[in-house]
Amino acid sequence: MLAARLSAGDAVAVEDPGWPNLLDLVASTGLRALPLRVDQAGPEPASLAAALRNGARAVVVTSRAQNPTGAYVTAERATALRRVLGTHPDVLVVEDDHAAELAGVPLASLSGATGAWAFVRSLSKPYGPDLRLAVVAGDEATVSRVEGQLRIGSGWVSTLLQRVAVALWSDPGVAPVVAAAADAYDARRDALRSALSMAGLTALGATGLNVWVPVPDEDRVVAGLLAAGWAVSAGRRFRQGPGSAVRITVSNLELDRVDALVAALRTATRGRPAGPVTA
């Protein structure tokens, strides 16, 4: 989508903190990333306005279960963002709804706020990482250009995968399984956030599979947790600006291990407070 609409040197507003692969993609295609600050209600309107003033020709927003902070775009925030985007009708808006059925909160879309837009819903989170398939909706010109990019690249999306996707969406027995998985992830994430709060540690993660924890020294915390048998991600991979945090993925965190993880995290921070939230 970015290649279909932008040229080398163009600027793209990208969530900060945000998904490292997107930052790598922007850099590898010769584009420039501009930070788009995020709180738990989604991108901040003032930060979006600043990025647009600084020349952003595209904006990439995670609709729900933002990685790494768990933010999701609320209806109120979507209205404010639409108001900002409405003054820049030529900007491309790409929405990534990767969590979809796992998100557990309503979708508040920005689609149509500008003349160029695309909404992407992938299947890998709700239905399995091997189902590498996504559905795209967008304005006619953007979709046509993406189709043109596919024709000179991979050529087509596997018909077998498409049929599997349709079967999953059509089978009435599948939705309850996905809903049960969503409930399990929510329970693990909420339990971890609650235990962290009781231990005096700030944690973000309203939706999704991750919890973002500001810490005094992320390198020391990552090393300390690894020594205690826990693997977490250092925050610098996700940030464009300053700060210190770690990302904890809850997808395989058993509830009876939450307290042990929090105790190890407290030890790794050596009892120092985590400081202000930077996301």
Task: Classify burial at 103, counting beta carbons within 10 Å of its beta carbon; exposed 0-12, middle 13-18, buried 19 or more.
Answer: buried
Number of domains in the chain: 2
30 within 8 A of 50, measured Cβ to Cβ: no
pLDDT in tens, 141-167: 999 999 888 887 766 788 899 999 999
Q: Do 22 and 56 share a structural domain?
A: yes
Q: Do 110 and 160 share a structural domain?
A: yes
pLDDT in tens, 9-43: 999 999 999 999 999 999 999 999 999 999 999 99
pLDDT in tens, 43-72: 999 999 999 999 999 999 999 999 999 999
Q: Do 84 and 156 share a structural domain?
A: yes
Query: How many CA atoms does the CB half-sphere of 224 hold within 13 Å?
Result: 19
18-22, 122-126, 193-197: the lowest-pLDDT one: 122-126
Q: Is position 247 within any domain?
A: yes
How confident is the model over 158-184, as a mean pLDDT?
94
Structural domain containing residue 241: 174-268
Q: Is position 61 within any domain?
A: yes
pLDDT confidence of residue 275? 42
How confident is the model over 241-252, as a mean pLDDT?
95
pLDDT in tens, 72-83: 999 999 999 999
